[in-house]
Amino acid sequence: MPVPRSAKDVSSNDIECDNLFSKEDPEKLFVDLREIGHGNFGAVYY
């Protein structure tokens, strides 16, 4: 069974996997989130 790779392990020339990951800064992408709940699996944002 193949071992899953993290986003950091994907090389820039692996075109098949390169399109699966965003290069944008998540701090800029998710700026207006509000926490609407919190449970066993963590926070839920909207």
Query: Tokens in use for 42?
Result: 């963590």
Give the CA distances from residue 26 to residues 4, 21, 32, 37, 39, in Å, rounded to whole numbers and listed in that order.
22, 12, 12, 21, 23
d(CA 4, CA 16): 15
pTM, two decimals, is 0.36
Map out the domains of the chain as residue ranges: 7-45
Task: Say what the pLDDT of residue 6 is.
Answer: 61
Share of the chain above pLDDT 90, in %: 24
Task: Say what the pLDDT of residue 44 is.
Answer: 92
Task: Judge whether residue 40 has pLDDT over 60.
Answer: yes
Task: Judge whether residue 31 has pLDDT over 80.
Answer: yes
pLDDT tens digits, 3-28: 666 655 655 557 777 788 888 888 88
Q: How many H-runs (helices) and E-runs (strands) does the chain carry?
A: 2, 2
